[in-house]
Each structure stands twice: as structure tokens, then as C-alpha cells.
Amino acid sequence: MVEYINYKGEKLPVRISWTVIKGIESAKEMNVYEQTEVALYCALLSGYKAIGKEMKFTPEDMQFILDEAVEEFQAIFSKQMQKYIQKDTDGEKKKA
């Protein structure tokens, strides 16, 4: 599901997908701030791909986008991650 964050008066498409999960996993050695930048970058790549457009941002732009949209991104990230990993009654993780 594509949702949007606001940056400089523009709506940017974000989608939490396998690309994002894989990106975060590859960034395990980074601190939480760097991991958030990686997650946003991957979510934007996935979002733009889903709507059939090319992303114009670089990894270096993520800190500036997060300056404006960190709360929006965190809310979308939390909500969309629920569809990937949920705990069932025995505590085992399963795909939703």
C-alpha cells in the first residue's frame, strides 16, 4: 500500500515493502538514525516504483526529508509493518 509524506509542499510516495525490510537488515551495524534514513530511502524507492515514477532523491537527501516528515514516516512505517510481522497466540511470528 502506498501512502504519502509531505516534503516542501510535495507529497512523496512511501511503501513499506520487502525492499525496506531488507535495507534495514543490511543496516544493522548503523545507529538508529542512519537506519531510519535507510528505511526512508528504501520506502521512497518502493513507493515511486509502485506508482510508476522515478525517484529524484539521493540517500543524502533523507536527513532533510526526515527533518520535515519524521513523524509522518514513523506512523506509516509502524502501521505498514504490522502487515508483515504479527505475533500469533503462541508468540511465533507469521506473515500477515
Are 63 and 40 in contact by the 8 Å Cβ rule? The answer is: no
Q: Strand, coil or helix: what is 84?
A: coil
pTM of the model: 0.82
Count: domains in the chain: 1
* pLDDT number for residue 24: 83
* Distance between CA atoms of residues 22 and 37, nearest Å: 14
| Calpha distance 74→89 (Å, rounded) | 26
> What average pLDDT does the segment 63-86 reach?
89
**pLDDT of 85 strictly over 70:** no
**Structural domain for 46, as ranges:** 3-94
